[in-house]
Chain A
Amino acid sequence: QQQVKQSPQSLIVQKGGISIINCAYENTAFDYFPWYQQFPGKGPALLIAIRPDVSEKKEGRFTISFNKSAKQFSLHIMDSQPGDSATYFCAASRSGYSTLTFGKGTMLLVSP
């Protein structure tokens, strides 16, 4: 059972454009929603995270939008740059449990 569904699988955006990656979850007990960024040959690294008590969180060019009623959250990358080209994973977990459940990832390519 896939508890976190991520789309699209891959994405090509022109430099300066907006990249949008979407995730949907099934378990209403989830209360922590991070996004991880992974460059080739490297391990994933935390990019930004949100909890369901807010609908949006912004850090620089990166914004998470959260819709609790729809059980969806998304990552927006404004003014996308070639250096943003990477694989992005959404994830979710619930209080008191140890494991993050990851989406299958989105390969983002920002063309110069």
Chain B
Amino acid sequence: GAGVSQSPSNKVTEKGKDVELRCDPISGHTALYWYRQSLGQGLEFLIYFQGNSAPDKSGLPSDRFSAERTGGSVSTLTIQRTQQEDSAVYLCASSYTGTMNTGELFFGEGSRLTVL
């Protein structure tokens, strides 16, 4: 496909379980971002990957959250020991350039996580 692909589109899990969310960015895009969207909270930055540089993890809310990007392409966001407050839509975006003042972000449709 031509757009950013995310899977699963919906995930229901029990509190305390680990979950993995996958993002396949647009081919050729060097930058990849994860955002979290909660009701009434807007879009919260989580983590940013740019090429082979060390990722910017400054938005990760706790050490239960981690992400990796393999081969400069696909990324996986992992949430360990999920809590009910982790319930949200997790959005992945990619862009051709890491310089935000020139690059448009292309978002996927998100993975909706519900923690029971």
CA distance A6 to B35 in the complex (A): 18
B12 at the interface (CB under 8 A from A): no
- The answer to whether A98 and B56 have CB atoms under 8 Å apart is yes
B48 within 8 A of A: yes
Inter-chain contact A32/B101, CB cutoff 8 Å: yes
Are B40's CB and A104's CB within 8 A?
yes
Q: Shortest CB–CB separation between residue B59 and chain A, in angstroms?
A: 7
Q: B65 an interface residue at 8 Å Cβ cutoff?
A: no
Q: How far is the CA of A43 from the CA of B106 in the complex (A)?
A: 8
* A61-112 CB contacts (< 8 Å) to partner B: 89, 91, 93-105
CB neighbours of A105 from chain B (8 A): 42-43
Task: Give the CA-CA distance A13 to B99 in the complex, in Å.
Answer: 36
Q: In the complex, which residues of chain A have a beta carbon less than 8 angstroms from the beta carbon of B48?
A: 98-99
Closest CB in chain A relative to B86 CB, distance in Å:
19
Residue in B closest to A104 when the chains form the complex, CB atoms? B42
Indicate whether A57 reaches chain B with its CB closer than 8 angstroms: no
B26 contacts chain A at the CB level, 8 A cutoff: no
Instruction: Select B105's contact among A9, A46, A97, beta carbons within 8 Å.
Output: A46
Judged by a CB distance under 8 angstroms, whether B25 is at the interface is no
Rounded to whole angstroms, the CA-CA distance of A99 and B105 in the bound complex is 10
Decide yes or no whether B50 CB sits under 8 A from chain A: yes
**Contact B43–A99 (Cβ < 8 Å):** no
Please, which residues of chain A bring their CB within 8 A of the CB of B93? Answer: 43
Question: What are the residues of chain B within 8 A of A43 when measuring CB–CB?
Answer: 4, 91, 93, 107-110
Known contacts: A43-B91, A43-B107, A43-B109. The answer to whether A89 contacts B98 by CB under 8 A is: no
CB distance from B17 to the nearest CB of A (A): 25
Q: Is A18's beta carbon under 8 Å from chain B?
A: no
Which chain A residues in 31-55 approach chain B with CB under 8 Å? 31-32, 34, 36, 41-46, 49, 51
6 closest A-B pairs by beta carbon, nearest first, are A43-B107, A104-B42, A32-B101, A93-B100, A102-B43, A98-B48
